[in-house]
Chain A
Amino acid sequence: MADPQSNPVAYVSGRAATQGRVSGLHARFMLFAPYRWFHGMLSRTGLSSRTLVIMVPYLWLLMFFLAPFLIVLKISFSEVLIARPPYSALFEMVDDTYLQLRLNLENYLLLLEDDLYWKAYLSSIRIAAISTLITLLVGYPIAYAMARAPRQWRLTLLMAVILPFWTSFLIRVYAWIGILKKEGLMNLFLMKIGLIEQPLTLLNTDIAVFIGIVYSYLPFMVLPLYANLEKMDESLLEAASDLGCKPLKAFWKITLPLSIPGIVAGCFLVFIPAVGEFVIPDLLGGSDTLMIGKTLWAEFFNNRDWPLSSAVAVLLLLLLIVPIMIFQRVQQKQGGVG
C-alpha cells in the first residue's frame, strides 16, 4: 500500500486547503523585509506563520486606526496650553517619585453643558440622514438600471459612475457654487423654462449642502447597491410573476428585501463621512448651517484648542460606532438576509 500522505489526490479537505492558501501568502509576504523581521520576532515567541498572516490586517488597523485614535483620546483629556504642542501632558512626575496621571474632564463636560455642541451634533446627524435618504432614493434607480442593463453596457456605466472621482473633490464642490448661485446655471435654467420668475436663493442654504453631499457621495451608494442587485437571481422574479405577482409588487416583495444588505452598506458609506463632512457645508452651506465638522475646524484652527476638538472627535466617533455595533449585533442574531 502507498503511504496515504504521499497519495497524489487532487482533493484537499477544508482546513488543510485554507492552510495551504495561508502558507502561500506567507511565502509571498516573506519577500518583504518588515514581515521577515516580524516573523523572526514572532517565531522566537512560538507563534506560527498562520497566526502571523491573520495578524497582518489587525496590525494595519492597530497602526493606522487604533494608534491615532489613542493619541486623539489622550489629547482630549489634556488641558489647552499656549505652547508647542498646545496641550498639557497626561503623565507627570511629582516629587521625583510619583507618576501622576491627570485626566482633564473639562472638555467633555463642556461638550455636555454647552448646547452649541449638541446642536451641531444633532444638526450634522440630521443633515447627514436627510442627505443619505436622498442619495438612496437617487442611487437606487441608477444602480437598478445599471444591474438590468445589457451585460456589454455595464462596465461603461460603472465607469461613468466612478469617472467624477478623477477630478478633485474640491473643484467639483466649487463647481456647484457656480451652478447654485443667484445668477448661476440652475437659476438661469429654471427661469428659462419659466418655472420661476425670481432667482432662488440656493447657495449658502441647507439645500445646497444636501445637493453637495448627494452629488459627492452618490457613487458610494450606487456601487454597493449595484454589486448587490447585479448578482440577484432573475429567476426569483420569474417565480414571483409565475405565482401571480405583478412586476411592481414583485419589486417590493422580492428585489427590495433582497437588496437590504446593499442598502445598508451604501447608507453607512454615505452617512458616516457625511456626518463629519466639513468642506461641503463650509463652501455651500450658510453661516447658520451647523455641522460638527465645521465646529471641529473652528476649535482646531481658529481657537487652537486641540484638547476640545479632540474631545469633539472622540464623541463623534462614539456617536457613530455604538449604533453601528448594535445594528450589526441585531443583524447577526437575525441570521442575516440573503
Chain B
Amino acid sequence: MTEAGGAPRHKTVEPWNDPGQSPYIQIAGVSKRFGAFVAVDNVSVDIFKGEFFALLGPSGCGKTTLLRMLAGFEEPSQGRIMLEGEDMSTVPPYQRPVNMMFQSYALFPHMTVESNIAFGLKQDRVPKDEIVRRVAEMIQLVQLDDFAKRKPHQLSGGQRQRVALARSLVKKPKMLLLDEPLGALDKKLREQTQFELMNIQEELGITFVIVTHDQEEAMTVSSRIAVMDHGRIIQVATPAEIYEYPNSRYVAEFIGDVNTLEGRITQLGTDFIEIKSAQAACRIRAGHGVEAPVGGAVWVAIRPEKLNISVTPPDDTSVNCMRGEVWDIGYLGNLSIYHVRLESGQMVTSCLTNQTRLVERAITWEDSVYLTWAPSSCVVLTG
C-alpha cells in the first residue's frame, strides 16, 4: 500500500516496514480477563523505538487496560509483553524503564507541584542540583511557572493534567505511556502541547504510546495508529493509511466521516473491480483489489471530500455517478457539507472547500446534483 493517493507523511522512517529492524516492544497474543469479561482480547502488535504509537478506540474498549499491562500494574491473563526482547512479566512497575501518565492524573495531594515532579527523580537518587534544574525545565515546558509551590487541589483541571505530564516526562523514560494526556486542555494549549510532545519525542528518542479519544490528535502526532474495538485491535497503520485504506467499515467509520454504499461485485478486472449498488443506483468502479468473489457483498467507502458535487451532469453518468437532491447544507467556514438524498433514499455527504464567498454559492437547497468520484479514491471493504 505505497502507491500514490496516500497523503505525504511527515516522517519517512518506517521501521515497521523494515525487516532488518527488531521491535522495541512486542505485545504477543496478550489478553486480559476480569472474571468472565474480556477487556483485552488477543492483542499482538510490535512497537518500534522512537515511535509515537496511538491507541484509538471508543470508551471501554480496553485502551487503559492495555496501557496498564505495559506499565506493569496488570498482569496479562495470556500472552507476553517484551521490552527490547526481554520478557517483562516478572518485572515490577518500579523497575520498568517506563513511565505512565494516568488518566486520573494520580497527583500526590500532599505535595506541591514541584515535589510531585521531583518525586521520580528522587527515587533514582539524582543529585539535588540536577533535580532542581530538571524540575525547573519541566515546569517551564508545561507553563506552570506561577504554580510551582501550589498543591494539586489548588489547580484547575488543565493545570493538573500538565503537572501529570511533567511528572511522567521528567525521568526521560525509555517508553512513555500517556493515557489521554491532553483531554482537559483548551484547543490552543493542546496544539501547543502536541507540538511539544512531538519535539520531546524527537529530541529524546523516547517511545511514546498514547491513548486518545481524539482522532485528530492521533492523526497529528502519531507515527502509527492502532484502532481498537471491544478489546481487539482492528487495524494498525500510519494515519494516512488508516484514513485512506481502512481495512473495515468499523475503521472507516471511526476515523473521519465516510459514505458507505452496499453492493455486489459484478466484475473482477486485473486492476479494477466493478460493483453494482442499489443504493447508489449506478455501477461503481474501484481501482483496488479486494479478496472477494464475483457476487460477493461488499461496501464501498468514499470520503465526503473525495465526492465531487455539481449541478451539471458528467460525460459518463453510468459509472461512479450518483444523482440526488440537496437536502441540507452545513456551513463550517472553510468547508461546506452537502447532505444529498439519493434517488434510492440513501443519504450521502459531500464536502467542498469554500474557495469563493458564500453569496456566490452555485449549489443550494433542493438542487438536483450529480456526485462523482475517481475509481482510485474509493475503498472496497468486505466487512
A338/B110 contact (C-beta < 8 A), A243-B119, A244-B123 known: yes
Q: Tell me, yes or no, whether A242 is within 8 Å of chain B by CB.
A: yes
CB B119 to nearest CB in A, in angstroms, measures 5
Q: Tell me, yes or no, whether B71 is within 8 Å of chain A by CB.
A: yes
CB A115 to nearest CB in B, in angstroms, measures 43
Contact of A243 among B73, B109, B167 (CB under 8 A): B167
Contact of B119 among A238, A245, A246, A338 (CB under 8 A): A245
Interface size range of chain A in the complex = 20 to 34
CB A317 to nearest CB in B, in angstroms, measures 33
Identity of the chain B residue whose Cβ is nearest the Cβ of A244 in the assembled complex = B123
CB A219 to nearest CB in B, in angstroms, measures 27
Identity of the chain B residue whose Cβ is nearest the Cβ of A337 in the assembled complex = B110
Is the pair B110, A243 in contact by a Cβ cutoff of 8 Å? no
Is the pair B71, A257 in contact by a Cβ cutoff of 8 Å? no
Q: What mask results when residues 105 to 125 of chain B are scored 1 for a CB within 8 Å of chain A, else 0? A: 011111000000001100110
Is the pair A257, B102 in contact by a Cβ cutoff of 8 Å? no
List the A side residues contacting B119 at CB < 8 Å.
240, 243, 245, 253
How far, in angstroms, from A233 to B93 measured CA to CA in the complex?
18
Is the pair A235, B106 in contact by a Cβ cutoff of 8 Å? yes
CB A312 to nearest CB in B, in angstroms, measures 40
A242/B124 contact (C-beta < 8 A), A235-B102, A257-B110, A337-B110 known: no
CB A55 to nearest CB in B, in angstroms, measures 32
Near A by CB (< 8 A), chain B positions 306-354 give none
Near B by CB (< 8 A), chain A positions 206-246 give 233, 235-236, 238-246
Is the pair A258, B99 in contact by a Cβ cutoff of 8 Å? no
Is the pair A233, B110 in contact by a Cβ cutoff of 8 Å? no
Q: Tell me, yes or no, whether B92 is within 8 Å of chain A by CB.
A: yes
CB B130 to nearest CB in A, in angstroms, measures 15
Identity of the chain B residue whose Cβ is nearest the Cβ of A258 in the assembled complex = B110
Is the pair A242, B94 in contact by a Cβ cutoff of 8 Å? yes
Q: Tell me, yes or no, whether B162 is within 8 Å of chain A by CB.
A: no
Identity of the chain A residue whose Cβ is nearest the Cβ of B68 in the assembled complex = A238
Is the pair B94, A245 in contact by a Cβ cutoff of 8 Å? yes
Identity of the chain B residue whose Cβ is nearest the Cβ of A236 in the assembled complex = B106
Q: Tell me, yes or no, whether A254 is within 8 Å of chain B by CB.
A: yes
Q: Tell me, yes or no, whether A24 is within 8 Å of chain B by CB.
A: no
A244/B120 contact (C-beta < 8 A), A235-B104, A239-B102, A335-B151 known: yes
Is the pair B108, A242 in contact by a Cβ cutoff of 8 Å? no
Q: What mask results when residues 68 to 102 of chain B are scored 1 for a CB within 8 Å of chain A, else 0? A: 00011100000000000000000011110011101
Q: Tell me, yes or no, whether B285 is within 8 Å of chain A by CB.
A: no
Q: Tell me, yes or no, whether B63 is within 8 Å of chain A by CB.
A: no
List the B side residues contacting A335 at CB < 8 Å.
151
Near A by CB (< 8 A), chain B positions 135-188 give 151, 167-168, 171
List the B side residues contacting A235 at CB < 8 Å.
102, 104, 106
Is the pair A233, B94 in contact by a Cβ cutoff of 8 Å? no
How far, in angstroms, from A253 to B100 measured CA to CA in the complex?
19
How far, in angstroms, from A338 to B94 measured CA to CA in the complex?
24
Q: Which of A236, A244, A249, A335 has the most CB of B within 10 A?
A: A244
List the A side residues contacting B73 at CB < 8 Å.
238, 241-242
List the A side residues contacting B95 at CB < 8 Å.
244
List the B side residues contacting A241 at CB < 8 Å.
72-73, 92-94
Is the pair B104, A243 in contact by a Cβ cutoff of 8 Å? no
How far, in angstroms, from A119 to B107 measured CA to CA in the complex?
48
Q: Which of B94, B107, B168 has the most CB of A within 10 A?
A: B94
List the B side residues contacting A253 at CB < 8 Å.
119
How far, in angstroms, from A242 to B164 measured CA to CA in the complex?
12
Is the pair B151, A245 in contact by a Cβ cutoff of 8 Å? no
CB B333 to nearest CB in A, in angstroms, measures 32
CB A252 to nearest CB in B, in angstroms, measures 12
List the B side residues contacting A242 at CB < 8 Å.
71-73, 93-94, 98-100, 168
Contact of B102 among A238, A246, A254, A258 (CB under 8 A): A238
How far, in angstroms, from A319 to B100 measured CA to CA in the complex?
50
Is the pair A236, B108 in contact by a Cβ cutoff of 8 Å? yes
List the A side residues contacting B92 at CB < 8 Å.
241
CB A262 to nearest CB in B, in angstroms, measures 13
Identity of the chain A residue whose Cβ is nearest the Cβ of B124 in the assembled complex = A244
CB A243 to nearest CB in B, in angstroms, measures 4
Is the pair B109, A244 in contact by a Cβ cutoff of 8 Å? no
List the A side residues contacting B102 at CB < 8 Å.
235, 238-239
Contact of B106 among A233, A246, A337 (CB under 8 A): A233
Near B by CB (< 8 A), chain A positions 237-271 give 238-247, 249, 253-254, 257-258
Sample of 13 more A-B contacts, CB < 8 Å, known A242-B73, A245-B119: A233-B104, A235-B106, A238-B71, A238-B93, A238-B106, A241-B93, A242-B100, A242-B168, A254-B108, A335-B151, A337-B109, A338-B109, A338-B110
What are 15 sample pairs from A and B whose C-beta atoms fall under 8 A apart?
Answer: A233-B106, A235-B104, A240-B119, A242-B71, A242-B73, A242-B94, A242-B98, A243-B99, A243-B171, A244-B95, A244-B124, A245-B123, A249-B123, A335-B151, A338-B109
9 interchain residue pairs of minimum CB distance? A243-B120, A244-B123, A239-B106, A235-B106, A241-B93, A241-B94, A257-B110, A245-B123, A242-B100
